[in-house]
Chains A and B, each alone.
Chain A
Amino acid sequence: MRATLLIAAKDLRQRLRDRSGLVIAFVAPFLLASIIGLAFGGDDGFRATYAVADDDRGPLAARFVDGVLAGPGLAEAVTLRRVGRSQARLLVDRGEADAAFLLPAGFSAAVQRGGPATITVLEAGESPVAGQVARSLADAYAAQLTATQLSVRTAVETSGRPPGEAQASRLGEQAAALRLPVQLTEGRVGVREIEPANYFGPSMAIFFLFFTVSFGARSILTERRQGTLGRLLASTASPGAVIAGKALAAFALGTSSVLVMWLATSLVFGADWGDPLAVVVLTVTSVLAAVGVTAMVITLARTEEQADGFSALVVFTLALLGGNFVYLAQLPDLLQRVSLLTPNGWALRGYVDLVADGGGLGTVAVPAAVTAAFGLVTGTVALIRARRMVLA
């Protein structure tokens, strides 16, 4: 026991003295999670500059310009420039406006007559997001106008006789005041909202965990090459104690790297990973899986270079398949199912469920059990191979 602890402490000291160990375990994951968080979670919200050319000067164009674009809902986010048609195109061309709306002459009259009409949206290629927002604003307004037209027409047809002019315009006014009876609202993916820091924190911690813990098994190869392995075994330490010491060091560094990420994202970004006990349990099982998988792969190697190659290969493959980087919805079903074969996929699932669904140990029971099983199976194979390596 004492030998195990001594070896673990020695390995940890050695690893931390090499600054790259610190970088991989603590600095890099936090840095990457921060970059992603800042790139996608900018709290400054959406801002855009739109140009609008109103050649119609009728009531329906005015309602779009004053009621929607310059309306209270968008006042904070949208800077509106009212310009002429050619000027609007120029502004988008030069990148001074993110998009332009063109309302053609006779627009209001055409809509009120029940005829076809078109709102043109010009988008700047450089601002895809602002362009999409512009298009959906125009789409929503067009849908409202279409519904108004349809309402008048249906009312006239249902009553069975052509209306007089006064009656027709009264119907038009009434219909224009209606609000679409079905609204599409946006819903959350869980009981609680998933924020970037809550998602990318665990995601990056898991990705780097596999790099962090690989030194454990690798150091057997290093010590064998340097001849220190023989000297360790010549002392009172048994082969089992040596392996246990190395596994313990990897486990300790891996666990602390995830826990530091938890602490750092909580302090810096106010992230909330969920029930602390569940976080700790899932972290322990995930680290077990990472230590087991990397050790199993590394014990297949004969030299350190091979070990680096094998483990990097496996780690990148797992990251790609486990969904740490890729958007799974667009992959074929088969690949989606493959993510269930990866321990990092399960770990990520557990952390995200904990954030989204709340709850405690029950929420992470399955991911924790699966990652623990991964750890046990791969760890056992690794132990057998490592023993053979140490004794050889």
Chain B
Amino acid sequence: MKILAIVGVTVRRLARDRIALFFVVLLPVVIILVIGITFGDAGPGRLPVGVLDQGAGPLGAELRADLDRSPALDPRAYDDLDALRKAVRRGVVAAGLVLPAGYDRALRAGRAAEVTLVVDQTRPPPAEVRSAVAAAVARQAATVQAAQFAAGVSGAPFDAALARARSSAASAQQVRVEATTLGGREEALPDGFNYTAPANLVLFVFITSLTAAAALIEDRRLGVTRRMLATPTTTTTIVLGETLGRFAIALLQGLIVFVVGWLVFGVDWGDPPAALLLVVVFSLVGTGVGVLVGSLLRTADQATSIGPPVGIALGMLGGCMWPLAIVPEPMRVVGHLFPHAWAMDAFIDLISRGAGLAGIVRQLAVLAAFAAALLALATWRLRRTLLG
């Protein structure tokens, strides 16, 4: 009973702290919303692409018109290279296309020409943008090549050959590419909210556990634990109560994101009981870290200020900020030294690959091992701190 009283106090203290509540409830939701929209399934419709026509002539205009028809792109005109580059750099447009002066003249004269796609290597545009632009360029290149070739062979004027090539292109059977991701789209990574919701669940359970360690330190500093020890309460009871209290907070944070993700963002958690078990096990990992940090650090300030950066760093390593599938192999290996990566792997298996409990047993076992090791270390440390 005393254990439950300690747990109750922990949770009540959190519930009265309106600012803490804001961070536990509102911040994850806002972040899921903003990031979820940006990584959504092809985003909100067409992506903006800057187009700079440096005097490319009629064929340049034709290419621009083709881009305008693309269902993936929202072309916007720019007048100078500097402005276009800045727009790409600032993310105002996803990429910029430069149509050079003399484009039309070169092609009509039977020569080759180059168009340039300006992209920011540090934040590359979505694949749809690149392939939509490449497809439009390839379509024009094919008709121009055909016109150049036919004009050369038959001696007909270029414009007549081009008109002929256009009408042939409209009716031609093409060489097509059929791409499938094996196992259907389910094999791929989850998109939109289906990725950001679990990612932020993992991220925030960890960060909240780290910062909640501050309360544990406050308890010691204010003498709350000392007074508890003065009552007929054993050290074991206090250690258990404090640990369970941290667990309640971690689990609460996990459940909030779980429920909000499900009800508000329509996240399909795959196999809900298995996902909930995963939340519980990861909350235990968070509990272990929280209690350990709470017994190691000396001031509450240290915990609140170290929590966010450490939590963000581990989140980055573990695939909460971007999927580990896109980073180089060594970074993937390093990521799996921390619990985040295992939890994310399990969530991806559940959400995207239709795995059930049996499919994530390995990840659950690894997380349980993390939790057991951390909790053992943490409770031992806390007991010593309380007695010392």
A→B interface (CB under 8 Å): 18-21, 23-24, 28, 31-32, 35-36, 38-42, 44, 89, 92-93, 111, 114-129, 131-132, 135-136, 138-140, 142-143, 145-147, 149-151, 153-155, 157-159, 171, 174-175, 178-190, 193-196, 199-200, 208, 211, 305-306, 308-310, 312-313, 316, 320, 323, 325-332, 336, 349, 352-353, 356-357
Q: How far, in angstroms, from A213 to B102 measured CA to CA in the complex?
A: 54
Q: A18-B299, A158-B150, A308-B304 are in contact. Are A329 and B47 (CB under 8 A)?
A: yes
Q: Are B177 and A187 in contact (CB under 8 A)?
A: no
Known A158-B156, A182-B107, A329-B93; contact A189-B120, beta-carbon cutoff 8 A: yes
* A36 partner residues in chain B, CB cutoff 8 A: 316
Q: Are A149 and B175 in contact (CB under 8 A)?
A: yes
B316 touches A158 (CB 8 A): no
CB-nearest residue of chain A to B42 = A330
B322 touches A39 (CB 8 A): yes
- A114: chain B residues at CB < 8 Å are 172-173
Inter-chain contacts of A323 with B (CB < 8 A): 90-91
Per-residue CB contact flags for chain B residues 100-143 toward chain A (1 = under 8 Å, else 0) read 00000001000111111111111101110011011101101111
Q: Does residue B176 face the partner (Cβ distance < 8 Å to A)?
A: yes
Chain B residues with Cβ under 8 A from A159's Cβ? 150, 153-154
**Stretch binding the partner chain, chosen from B18-26, B280-288, B371-379:** B18-26
Q: How far is the CB of A261 from chain B (nearest CB, A)?
A: 14
- Determine whether the beta carbon of B178 is less than 8 Å from that of A120: yes
Cross-chain contact A40 with B177 (CB below 8 angstroms): no
Provide the residues of chain A in CB contact with B308, threshold 8 Å.
211, 312
The proximity string for B residues 145-157 relative to A, scoring 1 for CB distances below 8 Å and 0 otherwise, is 1111111011010
* Shortest beta-carbon distance from A86 to chain B in Å: 13
Q: Which residues of A contact B322 (CB under 8 A)?
A: 39
Residues of A within 8 A of B40 (CB): 330
Closest to B86 in A: A353
B149 touching A155, Cβ below 8 Å: yes
Q: Mark B27-46, 1 if CB is under 8 A from A, else 0.
A: 10011001101111001100
Judged by a CB distance under 8 angstroms, whether B71 is at the interface is: no
> A326-B34, A352-B89 are contacts. A127–B325 as well, Cβ < 8 Å?
yes
Q: Of A115, A147, A308, A312, which one neighbours B146 at CB under 8 angstroms?
A: A147
- How distant is B108 from chain A, measured CB to nearest CB, in Å? 10
Q: Does B256 contact A (CB under 8 A)?
A: no
Complex Cα spacing A106 to B19, Å = 68
CB pair B35–A121 under 8 Å, yes or no, is: no
Give min CB distance, A125 to chain B, whole Å.
3
Within 8 A of A (CB), among B300-327: 301-302, 304-306, 308-310, 312-313, 316-317, 321-323, 325-327
B312/A158 in contact, CB under 8 A: no
Given contacts A116-B176, A179-B112, A309-B19, contact A32 B312 (CB under 8 A): yes
23 residue pairs bridging A and B, Cβ less than 8 Å apart: A28-B310, A38-B331, A39-B331, A92-B182, A116-B175, A119-B176, A125-B352, A128-B325, A142-B174, A143-B142, A146-B174, A150-B168, A174-B149, A182-B114, A184-B137, A194-B89, A306-B19, A320-B31, A325-B35, A329-B92, A330-B40, A330-B47, A353-B89
Instruction: Check A211 against B117 for contact (C-beta < 8 Å).
Output: no
Whether A187 pairs with B131 at a CB distance below 8 angstroms is no
Q: 11 additional contacts, CB 8 Å, given A23-B306, A138-B177, A143-B142?
A: A24-B309, A38-B328, A122-B181, A123-B180, A138-B179, A155-B153, A175-B149, A182-B107, A185-B117, A194-B120, A309-B19
With A and B bound together, what is the CA distance between A328 and B39 in angstroms? 11
Q: Which of A142, A208, A313, A327 has the most CB of B within 10 A?
A: A327
The 5 closest A-B pairs by CB, nearest first: A309-B19, A125-B187, A328-B91, A28-B309, A143-B138
Say yes or no: is B221 at the interface (Cβ < 8 Å to chain A): no
Instruction: Please tell me if the beta carbons of A139 and B122 are within 8 angstroms of each other in the complex.
Output: no
Main secondary structure of the interface of A (DSSP, over half): helix
Q: Taking CB as reference atom, which chain B residue is nearest A348? A: B90
Instruction: Report B-chain residues with C-beta under 8 Å of the C-beta of A93.
Output: 182-183
From residue A142, how far is it (CB to closest CB) to chain B in Å? 4
Q: Footprint of A on B, CB under 8 Å?
A: 17, 19-20, 22-23, 27, 30-31, 34-35, 37-40, 43-44, 47-48, 82, 85-86, 88-94, 96, 98, 107, 111-123, 125-127, 130-131, 133-135, 137-138, 140-151, 153-154, 156, 160-161, 164-165, 168-169, 172-183, 186-189, 299, 301-302, 304-306, 308-310, 312-313, 316-317, 321-323, 325-328, 330-331, 352-353
**Minimum CB–CB distance for B190 against chain A, Å:** 11
CA distance A329 to B37 in the complex (A): 11
Bound state CA distance, A183 and B153, in angstroms? 23
The CA-CA distance from A139 to B127 in the complex, in Å, is 13
> In the docked arrangement, what's the CA distance between A323 and B89, Å?
11
Whole-angstrom distance between the alpha carbons of A331 and B304 in the complex?
31
Chain B residues near A175: list those with CB within 8 A: 149
Are the C-beta atoms of A128 and B326 separated by less than 8 Å?
yes
A-chain residues with CB within 8 Å of residue B147 when the two chains form the complex:
154
Residues of chain A contacted by B127 (CB below 8 angstroms): 132
Chain A min CB distance to B65 (Å): 15
Kindly provide the distance from the CB of B203 to the nearest chain A CB, expressed in whole angstroms. 12
Contact A328:B177 (CB < 8 A) given known A151-B145, A154-B161, A159-B154: no
Is B38 a contact of A331 with CB atoms below 8 Å? Answer: yes
Closest Cβ neighbor of A60 among chain B residues = B175
Write out the residue numbers on chain A whose beta carbons fall within 8 Å of the beta carbon of B161.
Answer: 154, 158
Distance of B221 from chain A, by nearest CB (Å): 13
User: Which B residues are in CB contact (< 8 Å) with A193?
Assistant: 121
Give the residues in chain B near A306, CB-CB below 8 Å. 19
Taking CB atoms, residues of chain A closer than 8 Å to B39 are: 330
**Cβ distance A319 to chain B, nearest Cβ, rounded Å:** 10
Distance between Cα atoms of A383 and B135 in the complex (Å): 58
Chain B proximity of A93: nearest CB distance (Å): 6
User: Known contacts being A142-B175, A181-B112, A328-B91, is A32 close to B309, with CB within 8 Å?
Assistant: yes
Decide: A119 and B37 in contact? CB cutoff 8 A.
Answer: no
| A216 CB, nearest partner CB in chain B, Å | 14
> With a CB–CB cut-off of 8 A, which chain B residues contact A111?
175
Of B120, B134, B182, B306, which one neighbours A122 at CB under 8 angstroms?
B182
The residue that B89 contacts in the complex, of A154, A208, A211, A356, with Cβ under 8 A, is A356
A285 to B115, CA, bound (A): 39
Query: What separation, in Å, do the CA atoms of A54 and B147 have in the docked complex?
Result: 32
Is A150's CB under 8 angstroms from B145's CB?
yes
Contact A182 B331 (CB under 8 A): no
Does B182 contact A182, Cβ atoms closer than 8 Å? Answer: no
Between B125, B142, B172, B306, the greatest number of chain A beta carbons within 10 A of the residue's beta carbon is seen for B142
Candidates A150, A188, A320; contact of B142 at CB < 8 Å: A150
